[in-house]
Amino acid sequence: MSCKPGEPCHEGVKRRRALAVLGLMGIIFLALSGVSFINSRGQVVPSKVTYAGFDAVRGKRVFQSYNCMGCHTVVGNGAYFGPDLTKLYAGVGPAWLEAFLPSAGAWPTSGAVKLQLQDKAIAAEAGVDTIEAYLEKYPAAAERINRRGGKSTHMPNLPFSRDDVHELVAFLKYTSEMNTEGWPPVPKVDGLTFAQATPMPVAAQQAALSPAEGAGPAAATPISASAHGAELAEENGCTACHAKDRQRLVGPGWGGLYGSTVKLADGSSVVADDAYLTEKILKPDAKVVAGFEAGVMPSFAEILDADQIKDVVAYIRSLGGN
């Protein structure tokens, strides 16, 4: 609007004031943007986090591709069908996650976690190499094993490759290192703060699983080889991947397996006899079954002795076959 003749014109002043305000807002925006990227915020970024040589960025892509946030939350974002995963790695550690993710339909047992610690890379990430030290360091893993180890979960067995598992663990390691600014909040009601549940100490867990003193000769009643093999399969997490019937889980079902002809990935076939099953337990990648991936099943060479392997094979034989 132009100024009328004889009246003072304030249009230029108003314009300069408007430009000054816009300039000030721009300076404030740039300053806040710069502060959000300085290292003093202490916020970790996924590109800086790796696990056993695997990248958290790739793990984030795996997490997204399987729509994990359709059931879980990270820093409260996602769905609430499953627990928040933000600090899961810090609580349960890498060996528990390595045991759980490939066969998520069942909760890991102490034997399954112990098996993962045979991998030097996983033990190095955990900072311990024995199951006793691991459960002391990661009490959330001890609590989960004690309360529900070997039981079924509500999760499906997802077709994760071995690399997928490593990358997911890398991503969960990253989320555990995030500065969540106090998330999750501690619930309060009328000024009362509810303490978090304290997991049972490892020593108490072992005492609970040990035979009671003075139990008498009845506690040492011998059991059959197949029954002992069933116990070993349960304790070492075998049943999380192999069903008692012919159902395919992570691995083939054991029902009717003994004595059957197994087709291998290289096109050949082999009879599932004692020798084949023993080799499969000791060297799982020596003969990969058609339709299954190598590198998923770990070796039990350092976990089970020769007699225990015979008992597991006896158990598989007892489930029927040709």
Q: Are 159 and 248 in contact (CB under 8 A)?
A: no
Structure tokens at 26: 């721009």
* Amino acid 214: pLDDT: 47
Distance CA 303, CA 197 (A): 32
**What is the phi-psi region of residue 52: left when phi exceeds 0, alpha when psi lies from -120 to 50, beta otherwise?**
left
Place of tokens 């303490």: 195
* Amino acid 194: pLDDT: 54
Distance CA 85, CA 148 (A): 18
Residue 62 CB coordination number (10 Å): 20
269: phi then psi, degrees, rounded to nearest 5: -135, 155
* Amino acid 95: pLDDT: 96
Per-residue H/E/C for the chain: CCCCCCCCCCHHHHHHHHHHHHHHHHHHHHHHHHHCCCHHHCCCCHHHCEECCEEHHHHHHHHHHCCHHHCCEECCEECCCCCECCCHHHHHHHHHHHHHHHHCCECCCHHHHHHHCCCHHHHHHHCCCCHHHHHHHCHHHHHHHHHHCCCECCCCCCCCCHHHHHHHHHHHHHHHHCCCCCCCCCCEECCEECCCCCCCCHHHHHHHHCCCCCCCHHHHCCCCHHHHHHHHHHHCCHHHCCCCCCCCCCCCCCCCCECCEEEECCCCEEECCHHHHHHHHHCCCCCCECCCCCCCCCCCCCCCCHHHHHHHHHHHHHCCEC
Q: Are 55 and 190 in contact (CB under 8 A)?
A: no
Structure tokens at 157: 């067995």
* Amino acid 209: pLDDT: 47
pLDDT tens digits, the chain, 322 residues: what are they? 555 665 666 677 788 888 888 999 999 988 887 766 665 556 788 999 999 899 999 999 999 999 999 999 998 899 999 999 999 999 999 999 999 999 999 999 999 999 999 999 999 999 999 999 999 999 999 999 999 998 999 999 999 998 999 999 999 999 999 988 877 777 776 666 655 545 555 555 555 545 554 444 445 567 899 999 999 998 888 988 899 999 998 899 999 999 999 999 999 999 999 999 999 999 999 999 999 988 888 899 888 999 999 999 999 999 986 6
* pTM for the model: 0.72
Distance CA 105, CA 95 (A): 17
